[in-house]
Structure 1
Amino acid sequence: MQISDNTVVQFNYTLKDQEGNVLESNSGHDPMAYLHGHSNMLSGVEKALTGKTKGESFSVTLAAEEAYGERKEDAIQRIPAKHLQGAKVWKPGMVAVVNTEQGQRQVTVVKPGKFMITVDLNHPLAGRTLTFDLEVVDVREATSEEVAHGHAHGVGGHHHH
């Protein structure tokens, strides 16, 4: 079966920067799963996966605008320390999670203060050309429930509590 809209794809990935350093990988863990065609995945990765089948391995290199976007120099904001999740003590360069109206996003601490923390709202990987090594583990038709919810369920997917 080929990857197309409303298929659930299980895949393994290794993410590398331009110098070939591994930034993220799920090797040794369950495969990641996502519902194709529902904007759950970087569009450049989704485009590269379209039409692939179980067992295929390949690499795709995405320019910043296809990956996490260009860096915006004005995306610096001071926010109350209590809104940052992920650590008790913040140091410059640490990545925090902040809940926003658009859901959770990662921010980078620029300057910690006692009550207010200056953060960079750019995604930590913004402005970088990235290479994804991808391996398609499985492809299946999505269930009507998955399509209705807009995401994959089960191993590597979205869990409802």
Structure 2
Amino acid sequence: MRIKKGSRVTFHYELRDESGEVIDSTFDSEPVIYIQGEGEIIEGLEEFLEGEEPGFSAKVTIQPEKGYGVSDESLVVFAGPENFEDDVELEVGSTVETEDPDGEVIVFRIISVTEEKVYLDGNHPLADQVLNYKVEVLEVH
């Protein structure tokens, strides 16, 4: 069976950045299971796998526009330290969560801390990055 919209796909992947460093891999753990066409994986990978079948194995390079996107400067914001609970550690690299007006959870990475301001980035950590995947399709239902 070939991968098409609505297919339940099981696959392994290895993700490397532009320098070749491994960012993530499922080859030594459980594979990913997703439904094709539901937006459960990045657009570029979903497009690449369309029409393939079990046993397919390949490498693909995905540009930011079809991966985790291009950084949106409007998602870089700041808040005063007083806006955070006392138990929140305001350290560069850590994350904090809040809700948007619709109640959806938004995760921000702390990118800078001063006495007056905490700078937060709501972009995905892999935004702007070219992604190099190795994939192996195991099952298609």
How big is each residue's C-alpha offset from its partner over 1:52-106, in whole Å with a ceiling of 9 and x where there is no partner? 1112111111111111111223421235434xxxx95232133445554474444
Match of 2:68 in 1: 68
Q: How does 1:51-90 map to 2 (within 5 A)?
A: 51-78=51-78, 80-82=83-85, 88-90=88-90
**What is residue 20 of structure 1 aligned with on the other side?**
20
The aligned counterpart of 1:121 is: 122
Pairing of 1:7-46 with structure 2 (within 5 A): 7-46=7-46
SS of the equivalent of 1:48 reads helix
**TM-score normalised by structure 2 residue count:** 0.81
Partner of 1:158: none
Give the unaligned 5+ runs of structure 1: 141-161
2:62 & 2:97 partners in 1: Cα distance?
24
Give distance in 2, aligned partners of 1:96 and 1:136.
Answer: 35
Report what 1:157 is aligned to.
none
Partner of 2:93: 93
Q: Which amino acid aligns with 2:135?
A: L
Write out per-residue CA displacement over residues 24-48 of structure 1, whole angstroms, 9 at most, x where no aligned residue.
1122221111110112221111000
How far apart, CA to CA, are the structure 2 residues paired with 1:38 and 1:130? Answer: 21
| Pairwise CA distance, 1:107 | 2.7
Superposed CA deviations along residues 106-149 of structure 1, whole A, max 9, x for unmatched, are: 432113479x7421111101111111111111111xxxxxxxxx
User: For residues 98 and 26 of structure 1, what CA distance do their matches in structure 2 show?
Assistant: 30
Contact residue 77 and residue 119 of structure 1 kept, 8 A: yes
TM-score, L = length of structure 1: 0.72
Asked whether the 8 Å contact 1:75–1:120 carries over to 2, the reply is yes
Q: Which amino acid aligns with 1:133?
A: K
Say what the alpha-carbon RMSD is for the aligned residues.
2.5
